[in-house]
Amino acid sequence: MKLKYLPFPFAMILITWFVISQESEVAIPEPPPQALTQAPSGPLEWQDNEHNENKSKLVKAVQRQSDESISPIERIRQMSNKTELQVALLDDHDNFTRYPPENRRITSAAQDPISQRYAIDERTTLNEDQSVGLTVWSDKKFYLEDDSVIVHAFIQDAEGKKLNTEFQTEIISDQGKHGTLELIDDNNDQVYTAELQLKNSSRNINKPGIYKVLIQNKEHEILDGITFTLSKPDITLTNNFREKITATGDLLIEAEVEVSQNNRFYIQASLYSSTHVPVGVTQSTQELTSGKHWVPLQFAGLMIQDAQENGPYVLQQVSLAKVTMPMQRAPLVNPNFQTDAYRLDEFSSSSYDERDKL
């Protein structure tokens, strides 16, 4: 069975536990009292054995004191026969310290955490006898106050055939109920759609938060729902960017943002090559005042080296959010800003751990 990598803090706890559990306390032996005042009273061979045993304990104790200056991860690294768990812990440690904490390498678009966060959540629920399924989804997860939420639903039987039917709906939140929607099959394809205009004052959907649209089919006794977030992020991109290679050999892209209200903001961005090869993701959290600001988006030179792609590079996706509960995320932005045609050898090949030790 292949072990998955463990979260780094938990891995370090296991490392520490392992090292401690594998070691026993070795005290530096003290000579017996009679050795200080009396001549040997037994056979010479016995005295030599006792001396050798004490010497061996002393050597081990000195060696242990020397080992205390070595980190637990290095002790495991020096072992000749490592278990699968120990190998996994070493890999986890090396991956964690290869890049700065704000960076994460991605090797496929499917690994992009920004894409994952904004991906449409299509849900399918079966009725009690599993004869039919209800599938529901909305066009996005995060909306602004001027947006419209598009809701879709359909019923299909066990053979996958979509059925003509009717739906009952209700919109709810922690503030209460916000009315109903009428799902209609406009295209005669058995996919039913409704549009929810968030600025409709009669529904009273004007407070940022999480809302849910319950969707029920009484004919087949099945119920599910979609959730969406109404956001007021108070931050937008101005679509102005600038770039450079830093003194430490990293790629720094600065994005200009405009803030409408003082707050703490979270910014995450993904970098790809111009040939659509993923490079990695960076993130930062900053306190910003109202007005325009340049936000740094730094990508480790080694992370770019690991992608084995020369420039130009593309700032593929940017996620902006106001740090609240729940997080007030702005809609996904695809700026497609392209850098100069940098060569791989212009970037640092040093790991974050190596650079930190300099």
| Span 35-87, pLDDT tens digits | 444 444 444 444 455 555 655 555 455 455 555 567 676 787 778 887 878 77
| Span 168-199, pLDDT tens digits | 999 999 999 999 999 999 999 999 999 999 98
Whether the per-residue pLDDT at 353 is higher than 80: the answer is no
Confidence of residue 27 (pLDDT cuts 50, 70, 90): very low
If one compares 156 and 76, the residue with the highest pLDDT of the two is 156
CA dist., res. 352 & res. 98, Å (int): 5
Q: In this predicted structure, what is the pLDDT of residue 76?
A: 78
* Contacts for 253 with CB less than 8 Å, ≥ 6 apart: 241, 242, 243, 269, 271, 296, 297, 298, 299, 315, 337, 339
If one compares 155 and 43, the residue with the highest pLDDT of the two is 155
DSSP codes joined into one string, 35-55: HHHS---S-HHHHHHHHHHHH
Q: In this predicted structure, what is the pLDDT of residue 321?
A: 97
Residue 35 main-chain phi, psi, to 5 deg: -70, -20
Q: In this predicted structure, what is the pLDDT of residue 61?
A: 56
Strands 263-273 and 251-259: unpaired
Whether the per-residue pLDDT at 16 is higher than 60: the answer is no
Calculate the dihedral angle through the C-alpha atoms of 62, 66, 67, 70, rounding to the nearest 10 degrees. Answer: 170
If one compares 141 and 14, the residue with the highest pLDDT of the two is 141
Whether the per-residue pLDDT at 345 is higher than 70: the answer is yes
Q: In this predicted structure, what is the pLDDT of residue 174?
A: 92
Q: In this predicted structure, what is the pLDDT of residue 326?
A: 86
Q: In this predicted structure, what is the pLDDT of residue 356?
A: 62
* Contacts for 308 with CB less than 8 Å, ≥ 6 apart: 344
Whether the per-residue pLDDT at 357 is higher than 70: the answer is no
| Span 121-130, pLDDT tens digits | 999 999 999 9
Whether the per-residue pLDDT at 34 is higher than 50: the answer is no
CA dist., res. 330 & res. 260, Å (int): 13
Burial tier of 4 (Cβ tally within 10 Å: 0-12, 13-18, 19+)? exposed
Whether the per-residue pLDDT at 12 is higher than 90: the answer is no
Whether the per-residue pLDDT at 238 is higher than 70: the answer is yes
CA dist., res. 307 & res. 277, Å (int): 8
Q: What is the average pLDDT across 133-159?
A: 96
Which element (helix H / strand E) includes 301? helix 301-307
Confidence of residue 303 (pLDDT cuts 50, 70, 90): very high
Cα radius of gyration (the chain): 31
Q: In this predicted structure, what is the pLDDT of residue 67?
A: 54
Q: In this predicted structure, what is the pLDDT of residue 2?
A: 44
| Span 210-222, pLDDT tens digits | 999 999 999 999 9
Give me the residue label for tokens 């994005």: 255
Confidence of residue 6 (pLDDT cuts 50, 70, 90): very low
Q: What is the average pLDDT across 269-290?
A: 96
User: For residues 291 and 258, is the Cβ–Cβ distance under 8 A?
Assistant: yes
| Span 91-119, pLDDT tens digits | 666 666 789 999 999 999 999 999 999 99
CA dist., res. 215 & res. 271, Å (int): 38
User: For residues 311 and 247, is the Cβ–Cβ distance under 8 A?
Assistant: no
CA dist., res. 315 & res. 347, Å (int): 17
Of 341, 319, 315, the C-alpha closest to 330 is: 319
Q: In this predicted structure, what is the pLDDT of residue 89?
A: 73
Of 83, 99, 222, the C-alpha closest to 163 is: 222
If one compares 314 and 201, the residue with the highest pLDDT of the two is 314
Go through the domains of the chain in sequence order and give each one's CATH number.
Answer: 8-98 (no CATH), 129-230 (2.60.40.1930), 235-357 (2.60.40.10)
Q: In this predicted structure, what is the pLDDT of residue 38?
A: 45
Q: How confident is the prediction for the chain on average, in pLDDT?
A: 84
Residue type for position 112: D
Upstream peptide bond of 100 is cis (omega within 30 degrees of 0): no
Upstream peptide bond of 101 is cis (omega within 30 degrees of 0): no
| Burial 237-262, CB ≥16 within 10 A → b, else e | beeebebebeeebbbebebebebeee
If one compares 324 and 49, the residue with the highest pLDDT of the two is 324
